[in-house]
């Protein structure tokens, strides 16, 4: 039987591993390294969120390949400029975060700041769910023609 100190140490290690992996997810996406993301995602990973196609649109992708394809599509639309993590909360295998990000629209070069609130869930160290809610008005300003 583990002592409470041993349990605390294990929880701390788990938290550090989850934080490393969620930061790796964000870093790889910011550099456009979509292929490398596959090692972090479970085969049954689900992505859901919102984007802008002339109006706010719900997005859902089921499965690792579909999630990677969506990341490719995002990279085709915008280029990451910088990220500031405003909040990061890790509880077990769940992460809630709020980030202030700057993106450059690839067509005209417009740069916009977008606040994104996200929820990421892990299972056995792999990402099984990503939910992202960006400020849709900021996304509209970024992507509007």
User: What does the DSSP 8-state code read for residue 142?
Assistant: H
| Domain 4-143 fold | Nuclear Transport Factor 2; Chain: A, (3.10.450)
pLDDT for residue 51: 79
Say if pTM beats, i.e. exceeds, 0.75: yes
d(CA 12, CA 8): 6
- Here the tokens at position 70 are 């969506």
Q: Per residue in 8-54, pLDDT tens?
A: 444 455 889 999 999 999 999 999 999 999 999 999 999 999 877 77
Highest mean pLDDT out of 33-37, 97-101, 141-145: 97-101
Q: Which residues contact 50 (CB under 8 A, 6 or more apart)?
A: 56, 57, 58, 59, 132, 133, 134, 136, 139
């Amino acid at each position: 039987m583990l002592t409470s100190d041993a349990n605390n140490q294990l929880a701390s290690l788990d938290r550090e591993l989850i934080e490393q992996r969620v930061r790796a997810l964000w870093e790889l996406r910011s550099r456009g390294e979509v292929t490398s993301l596959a090692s972090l995602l479970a085969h049954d990973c689900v992505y859901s969120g919102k984007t802008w196609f002339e109006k706010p649109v719900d997005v859902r992708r089921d499965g690792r390949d579909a999630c990677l394809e969506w990341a490719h599509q995002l990279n085709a639309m915008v280029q990451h400029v910088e990220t500031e993590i405003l909040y990061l909360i890790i509880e077990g295998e769940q992460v809630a975060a709020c980030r202030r990000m700057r993106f450059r629209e690839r067509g005209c070069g417009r740069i916009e700041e977008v606040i994104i609130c996200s929820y990421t869930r892990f299972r056995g160290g792999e990402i099984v769910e990503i939910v992202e809610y960006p400020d849709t008005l900021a996304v509209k300003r970024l992507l509007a023609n």
